[in-house]
Amino acid sequence: MFAVLQKEINSFLNSLIAYIVIGVFLVAIGLFMWVFPDTSVLEYGYADMLTLFNMAPWVFLFLIPAITMRTFSEEKKAGTMELLLTKPITDLQLILGKYLACLILALLALVPTGLYYYSVYSLGNPVGNIDTAAVIGSYIGLFFLAAIFTAIGVFASAITDNQIVSFIFAVFFCFLIYTGFDYIASVDVWGNTSFLISQLGISYHYEALSRGLIDSRDIVYFVSVVALLVLGTKLVLESRKW
């Protein structure tokens, strides 16, 4: 697994993918936080990072599928998938190696946003007037959000040999699981079950973590969804033996 992980990370770092992903993420979030008047912290008048944590999921929704679309699709199209599967590693180790490499790249984009926290912290009146617990909770939420989006992207890449199709599938599934359940729950036909339906989506659990409330139920939700998606990817790869 670690050999696959190292190979994938080296592949990312030796291409423009990693630098484009990190650059696009930081520029997009920077524009929303500091430039656009409707969302700028400077115009908002409050020392918080809501703009970052509200917009990052939507940026991730497109950037992470762009990272993951090549994981298995490129191997299939290049004809190296069969060679890769003959290596002395299990399907699960192969999947986890590629999955972790993509997740690490996505998380690297979050590291420079620590400068945004320092800036908002310094701009507070008095200095440091920021809800640090909520910021930490939101970062934890973004970590798990990236974990699920990455798992969706890897799964989408495993079911097709076309990177563009993989990207489209991943964006659709990410959107569906992030906010689709909220739209479904808002339809006035479910009655008392609408709340349960909304809990199936990521946004409910992400917003709970963003308030600084680290609830084990939210953590279990994120871990369970990632595990199911990894298992689904494993089943797709194993289908070649059927």
Return the exposure string of 96-120: e unless at least 16 CB atoms fall within 10 Å of the residue's CB, then b: bbbbbbbbbbbebbbeebeebbeeb
- Distance between CA atoms of 28 and 122, rounded to whole angstroms? 22
According to the model, what pLDDT value does residue 144 have? 93
Q: How far is CA 12 from CA 27, 60, 67, 187, 223, in A?
A: 20, 17, 9, 42, 25
**Both tokens assigned to 234:** 């494993």
pLDDT at 240: 64
For residue 231, which of 101, 81, 99, 79 has the smallest C-alpha distance? 99
Query: What is the pLDDT at residue 82?
Result: 67
pLDDT score, position 76: 77
- pLDDT means per 10 residues in the chain (242 residues)? 80 79 86 83 76 89 90 78 73 90 90 87 79 86 94 93 92 91 79 81 86 83 94 86 54
The Cα–Cα gap between 123 and 166 comes to 42
Q: Which residue type does 30 have?
A: G
| Distance in angstroms (rounded) separating the CA atoms of residues 17 and 10 | 11
Amino acid identity of residue 152, one-letter, is I
Nearest to 178 by CA among 201, 194, 153, 155: 201
Domain count, the chain: 1
Dist CA 206 CA 124 (whole Å): 25
**What gap in Å lies between CA 51 and CA 39, rounded to an integer?**
6
| Predicted model pTM | 0.91
- Our CA angle for 209, 107, 73, nearest 5°, is 115
Element (H, E) at 162: none
Q: Domain range for residue 79?
A: 2-241
